[in-house]
Chains A and B, each alone.
Chain A
Amino acid sequence: MTFSAPEENTLGVVITGKGRTRVKQPRRSGRVANSAHRASLGVAFLGLGAAILVILRAVYGFSWFVAFWSGDVYPKPIAALASWIVLVAVLLGAIIATRVINDRLPDWIFALFVTGLAVSVALDLIAIWDLHSIGHHATSAIAAGMTLLVVVAVRGPVEILVADGVLALALAVAMFLNAEPGALVDGEWMAPQLIALASAVLPPVIGVAIIEAFRRMVQVELDRVLTQSTVSAPRFAVGMLASEELARLDLAAEELLDSIATRKTPLPLAPKMASVAASLATELRLHLIEGRRETWLYHAVSESELLGKSVTLVDKSSLAGLLDPAQRDGLLSTAWLLVSDTTKANPGTTVTLQIGPLDTSEPHGLPAHKLLVPITITTTGVPRNRVDPTIWDAIGRVGRYSDSTQDSSLRVDIECVVDNPADHNA
Chain B
Amino acid sequence: MDLIAKERERLLQRAARVYGLSFTAVALVCALLPGAVDPLALVISLPLFAVVAFAQLRMGMSRSLLWVGLVLLCGVGIIGVFRFVGSGPSPEAGYSAILQLAAVSLAGCALVLTSSGPRIALLVGAFLLVGGSAVFVTDGVPQMLRTAGLVVLGWLLPTAIAIWISVGVPQVEKRIASIGRAHRAERQASELEAQRRQSARLLHDTVLATLTLLAHSGVGVKPDALREQAADDARLLRQLRLGSAPTPPPEGEPFVSTETSPIPVIEEPVLGTTLESVQQRFNRMGLQVHWHGTGQVLLPSDVLDAFLLALAECLENVRRHSGVTEAHVTITEDEKIVRALVTDSGVGFDINDVDDAKLGFSESVVARLRDVGGNARLFSAPGSGTTVVLEVPR
Contact = CB atoms under 8 A, between A and B. Distances in A.
Contacts of B210: 257
A240 B198 contact: no
B3 A229 contact: no
A261 interface: yes
Contact of A250 (B161, B171, B183, B241): B241
28 contacts: A42-B168, A45-B171, A186-B34, A187-B35, A188-B35, A188-B93, A191-B96, A202-B26, A205-B22, A206-B19, A213-B14, A218-B176, A224-B3, A238-B198, A240-B187, A242-B194, A244-B190, A258-B238, A260-B214, A262-B231, A267-B217, A269-B214, A274-B214, A280-B211, A288-B201, A333-B3, A345-B61, A390-B1
Interface string B149-170: 0000000010001001101110
**Ranked 3 nearest A-B pairs via Cβ:** A42-B172, A261-B231, A187-B33
A194 B90 contact: no
A2 interface: no
Interface of A: 38, 41-42, 45-46, 49, 53, 185-192, 194-195, 198, 202, 205-206, 209-210, 213-214, 217-218, 220-222, 224-226, 228-230, 232-234, 237-240, 242-244, 246-247, 250-251, 253-258, 260-263, 267-271, 273-275, 277-278, 280-281, 284-285, 288, 291-292, 333, 336-337, 345, 388, 390
B237 interface: yes
A413 to B, nearest CB: 24
A221 B7 contact: yes
A390 B5 CA distance: 12
A416 to B, nearest CB: 21
B219 to A, nearest CB: 6
Interface of B: 1, 3-4, 6-8, 10-11, 14-15, 18-19, 22-23, 26, 29-30, 33-36, 61, 90-93, 96-97, 100, 157, 161, 164-165, 167-169, 171-173, 175-177, 179-180, 183-184, 186-188, 190-191, 193-195, 197-198, 201, 204, 207-208, 210-212, 214-219, 223, 226-228, 230-231, 233-234, 237-238, 240-241
Given A191-B96, A284-B208, A198 B214 contact: no
A228 B238 CA distance: 33
Contacts of B175: 41-42
Contacts of A42: 168-169, 171-172, 175
A362 B191 CA distance: 38
Given A221-B172, A243-B197, 19 more contacts: A41-B172, A42-B171, A186-B34, A191-B36, A192-B96, A194-B26, A195-B96, A202-B26, A209-B15, A213-B10, A213-B14, A226-B179, A234-B191, A238-B194, A239-B194, A250-B197, A253-B211, A254-B233, A291-B194
Contact of B176 (A41, A284, A336, A345): A41
Contacts of B207: 253, 257, 284
Contact of A246 (B93, B169, B187, B198): B198
A348 B241 CA distance: 44
Contacts of A274: 214-217
Given A42-B171, A261-B234, A274-B216, A243 B194 contact: yes
Contacts of B171: 42, 45
Contact of B180 (A229, A261, A271, A278): A229
Given A210-B15, A243-B193, A246-B194, A226 B180 contact: yes
A254 B204 CA distance: 11
Contacts of B238: 254, 258
A119 to B, nearest CB: 27
A174 to B, nearest CB: 19
Contact of A218 (B3, B10, B29, B172): B172
A213 B347 CA distance: 73
A189 B172 CA distance: 46
A253 B210 CA distance: 10
A55 to B, nearest CB: 13
Contact of A243 (B22, B190, B226, B234): B190
Contacts of A192: 92, 96
Nearest to B186: A240
A188 B92 contact: yes
Contact of B197 (A224, A246, A257): A246
A148 to B, nearest CB: 15
Contact of B93 (A191, A226, A260): A191
Contacts of B6: 388, 390
A194 to B, nearest CB: 6
Contact of A202 (B7, B23, B33, B191): B23
Nearest to B2: A390
